[in-house]
């Protein structure tokens, strides 16, 4: 599963859900989750269920603009702020989360 952290924000989290739901549960409720959680979000379709499951645990990110993008990285994922976003108010910032789409050749310990 994909875990989500948007640029090190210190949002006070009030969890709506107590644990990450199963893939099957997300599939059953995908239409209502899209309406509720994907406001101001750009999500690659092949990562949609994982991103929805992660966003369920962070309700404070509901209206935050986040663009999820697939790219070749040497890490699992990265969050990149833009220079112009540094000068915006926290609730007006945009975030870009890059997800590695290449399979890592190394095995984790």
> Do the bridges between strand 41-42 and strand 65-71 make them parallel or antiparallel, or are there none, so unpaired?
parallel
Close Cβ partners of 22 (under 8 Å, ≥ 6 residues apart):
none
User: Each residue of 19-34: pLDDT tens digit?
Assistant: 778 889 999 999 999 9
User: Each residue of 61-73: pLDDT tens digit?
Assistant: 888 889 998 887 7
User: Each residue of 68-102: pLDDT tens digit?
Assistant: 988 877 766 677 767 787 788 777 788 888 888 77
Q: Output the pTM of the full model.
A: 0.69
């Amino acid at each position: 599963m994909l875990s989500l952290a948007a640029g090190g924000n210190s949002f006070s989290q009030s969890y709506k859900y107590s644990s990450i739901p199963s893939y099957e549960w997300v599939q059953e409720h995908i239409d209502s989750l899209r309406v509720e959680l994907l406001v101001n979000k750009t999500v690659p379709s092949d990562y949609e269920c994982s991103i929805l499951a992660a966003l369920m645990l962070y309700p404070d990110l509901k209206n935050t603009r986040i663009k999820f993008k697939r790219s070749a990285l040497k890490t699992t994922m990265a969050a990149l702020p833009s220079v112009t976003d540094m000068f915006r108010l926290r609730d007006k910032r945009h975030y870009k989360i890059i997800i590695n789409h290449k399979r890592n050749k190394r095995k984790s310990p």
